[in-house]
Structure 1
Amino acid sequence: MPVRTNPTARQLRFGTELRKLRERAGLSSTEAARLLGIKQAQVSNMETGRLAVSAERVRTMACQYECPDKELVEAIAGMTGERKRGWWEEYRDILPPGLLDLAELEHHGTALRTAHTSGIPGLLQTLEHAREVFRQVVPELSPPEVEHRTSFRIKRQAVLFQKSPVQYQAIIHEAALHMRFGGRDVARNQLKHLLKMAEHPNISLYVIPFEAGGYPGAGQPVYYVHGPVPQLDTVQLDQSHGIALLNAEAQLGKYRVILDRLTSLSLIELESRALIHHIIQTM
């Protein structure tokens, strides 16, 4: 089996989970290799996502590591099963790898939660709004780059409409609803689109009104992707230098609390939609 030179974020996460299983067993990589009857380099390559591992091998490793959490083991084993290339791979040499990792993360997510205080979540953006967002990127993107990123963002939205659509919760601050990316018409159409999207049973839309006052999170967009078990959840943060993916237990706990607090500050869904409708009427 050839060793990967550039593992994806999902492959890296898989390796990290194998390492965690080993470390919980109190084994060094050398001891684990001896126990499994393989070379230490193979253990290292598996734990860095550089070497493919079968689901059966995962179960064998978990057994040797005496891991009692069968649900976690099966969830990790499930990360090995997909061999078909995802649609995002067509953008492999066109867009930054972090964006492809995000699409793959969403594809395998069991539920999605996001909070935005100064913008509209990507999965709820119209084509025109998304295009205008990418026109504002610094350093400036070329017209073809703008179109590639716009089409990629729109294709990501398919997770909301597939045969078994993922549950999606979006929290948006009222300030973001007053932003006029692309001008008045584009902004109005974007807000109308939010109302239309909120009609889907798998989409929950909440608005934090100005009257709510302060809120946790320092205004940073938060994207929480649920895995098949809580240990495989992931938080995605947008940063000036690119996308950051967090999965440490303390980090996951922190952002679950932030999202819960933001939800408690929000209007209920019916009132949120009413506020969006009011903003449309006053534009």
Structure 2
Amino acid sequence: MPPTSNPTLRQRRLGAELRKLRERAGLTATAAAELLGVNQARVSMIETGRTPVSADKLRAMAHTYECFDDQLVEALAAMTGRRTRGWWEEYRDHVPTALVDLAELEHHATGVRVALVTNIPALLQTTDHARALFQGVVPPMRQYEIEHRLTHRMKRQGILHRDDPPPYTAIIHEAALRMGFGGPDITRGQLKHLNDMSELPHVTVRVIPFGTTSFPTTGQSFDYLQGSVRQLDTVQLDSCHGACEFLDAEAQLSKYRAVLDRMESCALATAASRDFIHRIAQET
């Protein structure tokens, strides 16, 4: 299979996991190449995601690296081959690459947990609410840029409406519910939609009200996307300049799991959260 000059995040992650296995085995890229019967450049290209690797070749590499975690190996094997030509590829020239990668991650996730302080989760936003957000971006977006971002965001929401939706949990601070983007009518519509979505069996929405004394986060929004095995989980962080940062080191994953667990422990229960959101909508 020919190399690619623009590997997706999923392809880069597969290569990174193979590099981790090699390094844990105490092998240099040169030593690994000799054992595998290939040149060192090919090992490096695989580890950067630029050269696709077959499932059989991956299993052979895992065996060479003395990885006997069958669940991990099979999960990695499922990531091999050419990139999935999902709907998100249509947007590769129209939205930041990180947003394309995020859509692909969400598509393959086995579960999603998100935490937000000043924004409604993207997958639970109405079209009007999302449009108001994009119209307020600094520097201003052109109208066609807004439309690309908007349709991309709405298509991302499809994972919650497909036949096999992943479990989705949103922990939202009261501040996000009271921001009022777009004005009272749009805000009321957004809050109603949030409660309607929370009625779906796979969607959980829990609110952290003002006055909560224990708040284990700096206020930065993040998504925790679960892989088919825990080692393949990914954390996505939002930044002030609109980009996405992806984290996958074991220590980072452990930290954000703990943050989410603590945030859930100080959030209202699901029924109480619905009532709370309904009251705010009535006050708006």
Q: TM-score with structure 1 length normalisation?
A: 0.98
Match of 1:91 in 2: 91
Tell me the amino acid that sits aligned with residue 262 of structure 1. M
Q: Take 2:48 and 2:94, find their aligned partners in 1: how far apart are those partners?
A: 25
Cα deviation code 1:198-236 (max 9, x no counterpart):
010000000001121341221000100000011000000
Match of 1:15 in 2: 15
Q: Take 1:48 and 1:81, find their aligned partners in 2: how far apart are those partners?
A: 14
Q: Take 1:176 and 1:271, find their aligned partners in 2: how far apart are those partners?
A: 17
Q: Displacement of 1:175 after TM fit?
A: 1.1
Tell me the amino acid that sits aligned with residue 138 of structure 1. V
Indicate if the aligned counterparts of 2:9 and 2:101 stay in contact, CA closer than 8 A.
yes
Cα deviation code 1:237-279 (max 9, x no counterpart):
0113411000000100110111111101100000000000111
Tell me the amino acid that sits aligned with residue 259 of structure 1. L
Match of 1:47 in 2: 47
Between 222-231 and 206-215, the greater mean CA deviation after superposition: 206-215
Match of 1:265 in 2: 266
Tell me the amino acid that sits aligned with residue 259 of structure 2. I
Match of 1:250 in 2: 251
Q: Take 1:18 and 1:137, find their aligned partners in 2: how far apart are those partners?
A: 39
Following TM superposition, the consecutive aligned residue runs of length 4 or more in structure 1 with deviations greater than 2 angstroms are 81-84
Match of 1:35 in 2: 35
Cα deviation code 1:49-102 (max 9, x no counterpart):
000001111101111111111111111111115654010111111111010000
Tell me the amino acid that sits aligned with residue 281 of structure 2. I
Q: Take 1:240 and 1:12, find their aligned partners in 2: how far apart are those partners?
A: 25
Cα deviation code 1:124-167 (max 9, x no counterpart):
00000000111111111001101110111010000011110111
Unaligned stretches of 5+ residues in structure 2: none
Match of 1:165 in 2: 165
The verdict on how the C-alpha distance between 1:273 and 1:219 changes in structure 2, with shifts beyond 3 A counting, is: same
Q: TM-score with structure 2 length normalisation?
A: 0.98
Unaligned stretches of 5+ residues in structure 1: none
Cα deviation code 1:153-188 (max 9, x no counterpart):
010000011110111000000111111111100000
Q: Take 2:161 and 2:97, find their aligned partners in 1: how far apart are those partners?
A: 24
Q: Take 2:208 and 2:82, find their aligned partners in 1: how far apart are those partners?
A: 39
Matched, 1:197 2:197: yes
Tell me the amino acid that sits aligned with residue 143 of structure 2. P
Q: Take 1:191 and 1:25, find their aligned partners in 2: how far apart are those partners?
A: 51
Q: Take 1:62 and 1:100, find their aligned partners in 2: how far apart are those partners?
A: 29
Q: Take 1:140 and 1:261, find their aligned partners in 2: how far apart are those partners?
A: 37
Q: Secondary structure at the match of 2:211?
A: helix
Tell me the amino acid that sits aligned with residue 112 of structure 2. L
Q: Secondary structure at the match of 1:211?
A: coil
Map 1:109-148 to 2 at 5 A: 109-148=109-148
Matched, 1:106 2:106: yes
Cα deviation code 1:88-127 (max 9, x no counterpart):
1111111110100000000110000001011100000000
Indicate if the aligned counterparts of 2:11 and 2:83 stay in contact, CA closer than 8 A.
no
Q: Take 1:41 and 1:217, find their aligned partners in 2: how far apart are those partners?
A: 42
